C-alpha cells in the first residue's frame, strides 16, 4: 500500500482510488504521515447516508498515530455500483479481499451505523485481518419494532412517497424529544431532511438493497474475539443502548461506553467525547475510568439496561378511535401514549391490516400508526412519524407531560 501523505479535508472530495476485485469496484482513500507504513491502519466504514467528507474531523486526529483508510464498498457512500446479490457477509468478505490484495497489516475498523454490521462481520469472519474493532450505532435489526419501521420505509419508497419516507427517517436518526440535550442544530436537521427528500432513483435503489440486506441478516451466531469498543448514544432510539450493551456482553473482549447527550449520530454530535476514547483504545491502553462526556459501563451492567427509553403516559381522555380507510372506525381504550408508540385495548379487528391505520385522539392531529403485536395487555403500536405536523404536536404533548431521565444513564 502506498499512502497519500498530503492530507487536507478537501482531499476527501477528490476522486478516490479504485480497486477492482472480480465484478466489484471498491473505492478508497488512504492517508498516512509516511508513504510506506507498516502500522495497523484505522479503517473507516460509514453509515447509509455518509460519504468520505463526513470524516473530515476524524481523519487528522487519527493520522497523528495511525494510517487511515476510508473505504466505500459497492452501494456504500460515493460508490454507486449496485450489488443486490451480495449479502452483508459477502460485503464483509470484500473487506478481507481488499486487505489481502493490498497486503495490509491487520486493520482496526471503525464501523458506524450500517457500517457497524459490516465491520463486526469482518472481524468475526476474518480475525487474522482485524486487530481491534470500534462500533457505534449497531444495526442488527433484531428488534421487531426496528424491523417494522424499516419495512415501512421501503413500502413508502415503493409507493413514491418520498416526503413521508424522509420525515420518518429523520425522526429515526435524530431523536426529536432530546434536541435540547443533543443540541443538533435546526440547520443540520433541515439539511438532512432535504438530502433525504431529494434521493434520486439510484440512491433509492441503494437504500432499498442495503435495507433488504439488514432485514435478511439472521443475526450474529458468533461474536468478535478481538479487543472491541462499543459506543452508544444515551438517547439513541434507532439502535438503542441496551442493544449495544448486549452486543458488547457477547464479545470476548469488549467494553461498552455510553456517550452522554447523544443519539444515533453520537460520533458527530459529541465528537470530543468519542475522539477522547479512540486513541487510547487504538493504542491498546486501558480506557480511562472516567472520561468527559461518557460513562463506561461495568461488565455486570451490560445485560441489565432498561429497554424502554420513554415513559408512556395515560391520557385523561382514554376513549379514542382507530381508523382505517377499509376496516372502518373502532372505539378503543388508550392505555399508554408516548412519542414512539402506544398501547390500546378494545374491539379492534382480530386480523389487522398491516398498514393504513390512524389513531384519533382529541387535541392531536391524526397519528399514523403501525400495529406491532397483540397480547393479553392489548395492542401495541408504533408511530412511523411520517407527518411533520402530527409528530410536532405529539412531541409537544409528550413534553408537556414531562420527560424522564435517560433510561440508561
CATH number assigned to the domain comprising residue 337? 2.40.10.430
Query: How many CB atoms within 10 Å of residue 292?
Result: 10
Do 284 and 226 belong together in one domain? yes
Q: Is 205 helix (H, G, I), strand (E, B) or coil?
A: helix
Q: How far is CA 85 from the centre of its chain?
A: 23
Residue 1 counted as domain residue: no
Asked whether the beta carbons of 49 and 119 are under 8 A apart, the reply is: no
Mean pLDDT lowest for which of 82-86, 136-140, 384-388?
136-140
The residues with which 253 forms a beta bridge, in sequence order, are: 227
32, 88, 274, 285, 330 from 280: Cα distances, Å: 19, 30, 11, 5, 57
**Separation of alpha carbons 13 and 249, rounded Å:** 38
Phi and psi, residue 279, nearest 5°: -65, -45
Tell me: the pLDDT tens digits for 9-50?
A: 999 999 999 999 999 999 999 999 999 999 999 999 998 778
Find, among 255, 229, 3, 19, the residue nearest to 105 by Cα: 3
In this structure, the answer to whether residues 156 and 230 fall within a common structural domain is no
pLDDT for the residue numbered 259: 96
Task: Supply the range of the domain harboring residue 256.
Answer: 9-143+218-301
Clarify whether residues 389 and 274 are in a common domain. no
> According to DSSP H, which parts of 108-160 are helical?
114-125, 144-158
Tell whether the model's pLDDT for residue 409 goes beyond 50. no
Q: What residues are paired with 24 via a beta bridge?
A: 21
353 in a domain, yes or no?
yes
Same structural domain, 265 and 382: no
pLDDT in tens, 192-237: 999 999 999 999 999 999 999 999 998 899 999 999 999 999 999 9
Q: Within this chain, do residues 95 and 224 fall inside the same structural domain, yes or no?
A: yes
- Same domain for 293 and 274: yes
E strands in 247-290: 253-259
Domain end among 187, 213, 239: 213
Do the beta carbons of residue 258 and residue 295 sit within 8 Å?
Answer: yes
Same structural domain, 65 and 118: yes
Region 126-140 average pLDDT: 92
How does the average pLDDT of the chain come out, rounded?
Answer: 91
With a pLDDT cut of 70, the percent of the chain lying above it is: 96
114 and 30 part of one domain? yes
Give me the pLDDT at residue 346, please. Answer: 83
The residue among 184, 213, 242 that closes a domain is: 213
Confidence of residue 404 (pLDDT cuts 50, 70, 90): very low
Helix H segments across 35-87? 58-63
What is the spatial distance between Cα 24 and Cα 20, in angstroms, rounded to a whole number?
A: 6
Amino acid at each position: 500500500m502506498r499512502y497519500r501523505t498530503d492530507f487536507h479535508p478537501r482531499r476527501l472530495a477528490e476522486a478516490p482510488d479504485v480497486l477492482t476485485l472480480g465484478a466489484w469496484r471498491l473505492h478508497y482513500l488512504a492517508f498516512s504521515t509516511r508513504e510506506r507504513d507498516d502500522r495497523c491502519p484505522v479503517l473507516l466504514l460509514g453509515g447509509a447516508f455518509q460519504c468520505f467528507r463526513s470524516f473530515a474531523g476524524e481523519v487528522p486526529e487519527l493520522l497523528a498515530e495511525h494510517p487511515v483508510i476510508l473505504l466505500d464498498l459497492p452501494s456504500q457512500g460515493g460508490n454507486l455500483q449496485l450489488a443486490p446479490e451480495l449479502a452483508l457477509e459477502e460485503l464483509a468478505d470484500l473487506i478481507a479481499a481488499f486487505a489481502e490484495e493490498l497486503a495490509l497489516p491487520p486493520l482496526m475498523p471503525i464501523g458506524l451505523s450500517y457500517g457497524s454490521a459490516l465491520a463486526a462481520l469482518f472481524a468475526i469472519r476474518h480475525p487474522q485481518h482485524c486487530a481491534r474493532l470500534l462500533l457505534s450505532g449497531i444495526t442488527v435489526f433484531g428488534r421487531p419494532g426496528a424491523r417494522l419501521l424499516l419495512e415501512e420505509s421501503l413500502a413508502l419508497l415503493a409507493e413514491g412517497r418520498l416526503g413521508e419516507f424522509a420525515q420518518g427517517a429523520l425522526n429515526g436518526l435524530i431523536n426529536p424529544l432530546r434536541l435540547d440535550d443533543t443540541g443538533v442544530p435546526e440547520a443540520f436537521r433541515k439539511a438532512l431532511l432535504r438530502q433525504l427528500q431529494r434521493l434520486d432513483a439510484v440512491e433509492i435503489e441503494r437504500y432499498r438493497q442495503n435495507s433488504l440486506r439488514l432485514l435478511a441478516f439472521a443475526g450474529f451466531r458468533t461474536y468478535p474475539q478481538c479487543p472491541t469498543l462499543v459506543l452508544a448514544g444515551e438517547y439513541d432510539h434507532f439502535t438503542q443502548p441496551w442493544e449495544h450493551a448486549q452486543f458488547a456482553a457477547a464479545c470476548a473482549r469488549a467494553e461498552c461506553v455510553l456517550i452522554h447527550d447523544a443519539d444515533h449520530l453520537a460520533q458527530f454530535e459529541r465528537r470530543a467525547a468519542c475522539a477522547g476514547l479512540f486513541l487510547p483504545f487504538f493504542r491498546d491502553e486501558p480506557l480511562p475510568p472516567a472520561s468527559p462526556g461518557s460513562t463506561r459501563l461495568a461488565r455486570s451492567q451490560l445485560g441489565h439496561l432498561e429497554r424502554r427509553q420513554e415513559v408512556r403516559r395515560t391520557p385523561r381522555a382514554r376513549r379514542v378511535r382507530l381508523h382505517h380507510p377499509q376496516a372502518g372506525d373502532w372505539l378503543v381504550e388508550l392505555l399508554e401514549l408516548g412519542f414512539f408508540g402506544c398501547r390500546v385495548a378494545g374491539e379492534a379487528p382480530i386480523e389487522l391490516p398491516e398498514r393504513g391505520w390512524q389513531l384519533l385522539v382529541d387535541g392531536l392531529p391524526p397519528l399514523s400508526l403501525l400495529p406491532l403485536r397483540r397480547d393479553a395487555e392489548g395492542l401495541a403500536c408504533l408511530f412511523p412519524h411520517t407527518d411533520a405536523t402530527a409528530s410536532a404536536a405529539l412531541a409537544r404533548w409528550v413534553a408537556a407531560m414531562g420527560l424522564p431521565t435517560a433510561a440508561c444513564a
